[in-house]
Structure 1
């Protein structure tokens, strides 16, 4: 008596004439694909499998090739039912050519996303080949968690300033005559400060989106980096910081650098304000050319406690915070993206005085399309 696997047709003695024959080189070509691929024939036997699929399945090639598909791929839905039985890739509508992505489980509580393409000899004919594509679910789960964390962070960061803006505007509208001019000015200044905070957060999120999608545009032109730093220091002093907290060191001569001045100022501003917020003492910005003058080197350091060495690999990732929590944790992620978009590098270390030191480079010379 011959046993028949549910969802898979009984094995035939001969391969259909139109069934594609896969030579070893064709099978090897599947290994360049980033997703797992398993190919079965009209009888439900595995005829090809790539290395990624074997890694997902945790199986050896010899154990999978030539095996019954249901045994080689014991796929179940999240309620414990066999995918081969429920999806029935060899049966169902004669017009069906594809099975949409589904989240399934493998033994050992491993989750995978599966899609399948059904090959037929002729329209509405029997299925002679099933190509199963497997994607490990862990990476997508991590991406979903990052998205959830981003939404949570943004909601938290927006709530406080929006509550303040709403509260002060409502109070002014309803009780305008009860406040003195000084009180009104204070409330309006608070509203302005909070709206600036919201604007910065939105700009930061837009930068993250552009960096992640590769849509960041740079308007390159010759930049005077010392002047950019001087201008930012002037703004910080005007906002109430002591002038003696800032030191600018420039080692001449400096190579010519073509960059987006607004983006470079954004990098400098972020690093200096981080030094003020999380560091201590004097904030030093040192600018010099490399020995071969092929790039410009900028160091921003403070005299605080510094950053623990074990945290260095995490500093430029999303949502990283120092021990003193504050902000979205996206600023340094954006800084790295801006520097790398210019073709430069950025790193973090310990300053000679013991505080944190951020060092970034910008390539010298005009870009080819401008020169």
Structure 2
């Protein structure tokens, strides 16, 4: 493309872009399109699209001939996305737009390309999410339905203690459903970039002590937790609810999947504050570390660990604060999760 600024602009696009004239002569190809198709974009310029990008549908028909820019109504501009193939076998999802002059005549055609493999992975991920949600909801809802139906039908046959046990079970299962829905909403906000952060001064050691106190109240031994806090911590402006969610998830993960003492270290690292949560369990193999923060990762399959969305959400919450999170083997064995959040002032809140 003649204008260097235009060339830079189309190269910044995440999707592949090909521009042709009305006859199919290639006018521009961006970097993403060259990567997806394997075609040298300099060699493609000025050539017929069928010679350099011979897209075919699943029945082997030539896409450009089916497109036929000069056919149809003069108001036709949008060509829906379709899965197409190149001779090499790779699948791409291809859409087009017909750019017309005022008289209705096609001036040029802009063609967008998306990786078919990436689309298939996204669809599988969504299918996994639906399957996971259905599975996780089935058990508590079945329990709630069963106990409420039994109580309504046979209320007078049960003692007060039996009724209390059943109602407590219903309440706990309702909490499970609420937690699952909250996780799904968090995943949706993280993936769509709509996660809102409301900052205030947060005392990280105090929030950590609160999380530990909650675990102890739930039945864990107080001796199982060890909190180490540096003396020179700077002021941190964070979203308190989301910090509680991060800390609570990491501590619960260490308790559920680890063993021995759970250590939490809080220290200053120059540009921010780092929090490390370590256990003394089996740990995570180095080759598995990149998978830990993916959706549906559960680690040890012998231990049921909920939906497998917790660490994915933790990573999203940390990054929404401008921080980072890593996982590695702890010095005493087990896993060590370490997240760092930046310090700030009211100006950045």
Shared fold, TM over 0.5: yes
- Quick one: structure 1 residues 26 and 309, their matched pair in 2 at CA, closer, same or farther if it must change by over 3 Å? closer
In the TM superposition, what is the alpha-carbon distance from 1:105 to its structure 2 partner?
Answer: 2.0
What is residue 218 of structure 1 aligned with on the other side?
197
1:253-283 per-position Cα deviation (integer Å, ceiling 9, x unaligned)? 3222221221111111111111111001121
Post-superposition Cα deviations, 1:146-190, rounded to whole Å, max 9, x if no partner, equal 111111111111111111111111111111122222221111111
| Structure 2 equivalent of residue 54 of structure 1 | 34
Q: Provide closer, same or farther for how the CA distance between residues 85 and 276 of structure 1 changes in structure 2, counting only shifts above 3 A.
A: same
- Counterparts in 2 of 1:190 and 1:57: CA distance versus 1, 3 Å: same
1:36-115, aligned counterparts within 5 Å?
36-61=16-41, 63-115=43-95
Runs of 4+ in 1 over 6 A off after TM superposition: none
Q: Quick one: structure 1 residues 287 and 80, their matched pair in 2 at CA, closer, same or farther if it must change by over 3 Å?
A: same
Structure 1, 279-288 or 49-58: larger mean CA deviation: 49-58
Residue number in structure 2 paired with 1:3 = none
**Distance in 2 separating the partners of 1:325 and 1:301:** 20
Aligned length: 346
Question: Could you tell me which residue of structure 2 aligns to residue 296 of structure 1?
Answer: 273
- Farther-moved stretch of structure 1 (95-104 vs 141-150): 95-104
Task: Indicate yes or no: 2:144 matched with 1:144.
Answer: no
Query: Equivalences for 1:1-371 in 2 at 5 Å?
Result: 23=2, 25=4, 28-29=7-8, 30-61=10-41, 63-125=43-105, 127-290=106-269, 292=270, 294-323=271-300, 324-369=303-348
Secondary structure, aligned partner of 2:119: helix
What is the SS of the residue equivalent to 1:368? helix
Query: Whose radius of gyration is greater, 1 or 2?
Result: 1
Judged with a 3 Å threshold, the aligned counterparts in structure 2 of structure 1 residues 90 and 27 are, in CA distance, closer, same or farther, namely: farther
Structure 1 41/218 Cα, relative in aligned 2: closer, same or farther at 3 Å?
Answer: closer
> TM-score scaled by structure 1?
0.85
Q: Which runs of 5+ in 1 are unaligned?
A: 1-21
Cα separation, partners in 2 of 1:249 and 1:63, compared to 1, 3 Å: closer
Residue 128 of structure 1: CA displacement?
4.5
CA-CA distance at 1:304 after TM superposition: 1.1
What SS does the aligned partner of 1:145 have?
A: helix
Change (3 A) 1:36 1:297: closer
Instruction: Mark the runs of 5 or more structure 2 residues left unpaired by the alignment.
Output: none
Distance 1:34 1:285, change over 3 A: closer
Tell me, in whole angstroms, the C-alpha distance in 1 between the residues paired with 2:16 and 2:233: 51
SS of corresponding position for 2:76? coil
Separation in 2, partners of 1:27, 1:227 = 53
